């Protein structure tokens, strides 16, 4: 990606988050878009975003691919890896060559290398000193992340945090935990709907999510609202597929 295009993409990502401060937004869609943009802008292979739940444990919110999701889940299961270290310390953790981290995170190293992942950057999501999650980027090559790229990732993580929690909601006295709980509930609902669509249409989970997202955007609905309709059997997977296909052919 050349310099001019890169700067344009960065600006567009910031504008997308700024819009959420003045209107209602779909948290899952926002965070997925931000992680995807960050992967593309900084040249990583995949990415994922973790949020802390009411019990203080990290839960997967969104990921750009099933490979990234698998690595994230294994990190949580093993309770080790750059994402866990980033969340605990509150500072970014950059790993230039995962293959060299056998003694530091043996389980994470094994799973990551099996998925073709050689480098990682974990960036904290912070609000007023409180870490509420981490944004995690994975590379297919062993490479040192530049200070500039790390700063871009941190800036995007910071604005994503603001967009998710919305300062005006905090000023009105609502608890941060309530916002996070709703976001995580949305993730569970969406995962269920993805499974229904993937099974009914013989699609991958990635393609099922893309279809769910296109359908919700085409009808100006939140992904959660559409997912609830799918899970509640009010909306059929084939109807979503037909609507998406018709929208493309118009």
Q: Evaluate whether 93 touches 128 at the Cβ level (below 8 Å).
A: no
* pLDDT tens digits for range 30-72: 788 889 889 998 999 999 899 888 788 888 888 888 777 777 7
- At which residue do the structure tokens 């919110």 appear? 61
Hey, what domains does the chain have and what are their CATH numbers?
3-173 (3.30.450.40), 186-249 (1.10.10)
Q: Once rounded to an integer, what is the mean pLDDT over residues 158-185?
A: 67
3-state SS class at 145: coil
Predicted confidence (pLDDT) per residue in 82-135, tens digit: 999 999 999 999 999 999 998 999 989 988 898 889 999 999 998 777 898 999
pTM (whole model) above 0.75: no
Tens digit of each residue's pLDDT (9 = 90 or more) over 125-163: 987 778 989 999 999 999 999 999 999 999 888 887 877
Contact 117, 140 (CB under 8 A): yes
Candidates 189, 133, 190; CA nearest to 165 is 133
Q: DSSP E strands: which ranges in the chain?
A: 46-52, 58-63, 93-95, 119-127, 130-139
* 122, 86 Cβ separation under 8 angstroms: yes
CB-CB contact of 129 with 105 (8 Å): no
């Amino acid at each position: 990606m050349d310099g001019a295009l890169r700067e344009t993409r960065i600006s567009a990502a910031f504008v997308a988050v700024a819009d959420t401060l003045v209107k209602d937004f779909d948290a899952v869609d926002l965070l997925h878009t931000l992680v995807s943009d960050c992967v593309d802008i900084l040249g990583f292979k995949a990415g994922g975003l973790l949020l802390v739940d009411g019990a203080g444990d990290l839960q997967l919110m969104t990921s750009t691919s099933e490979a990234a999701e698998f690595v994230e889940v294994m990190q949580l299961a093993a309770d080790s890896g750059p994402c866990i270290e980033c969340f605990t310390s509150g500072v970014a953790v950059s790993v230039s060559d995962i293959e060299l981290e056998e003694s530091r995170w043996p389980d994470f190293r094994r799973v990551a290398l099996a998925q073709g992942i050689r480098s990682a950057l974990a960036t904290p999501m912070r609000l007023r000193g409180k870490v509420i999650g981490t944004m995690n980027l994975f590379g297919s090559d062993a490479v040192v992340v530049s200070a500039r790229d790390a700063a871009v990732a941190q800036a995007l993580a910071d604005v994503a945090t603001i967009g998710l929690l919305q300062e005006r909601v905090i000023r009105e006295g609502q608890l941060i935990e309530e916002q996070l709980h709703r976001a995580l509930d949305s993730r569970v609902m969406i995962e269920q709907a993805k499974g229904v669509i993937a099974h009914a249409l013989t699609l991958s989970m990635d393609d099922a999510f893309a279809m769910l997202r296109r359908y919700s955007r085409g009808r100006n609905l939140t992904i959660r609202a559409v997912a609830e309709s799918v899970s509640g059997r009010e909306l059929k997977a084939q109807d979503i597929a037909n609507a998406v296909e018709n929208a493309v052919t118009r």
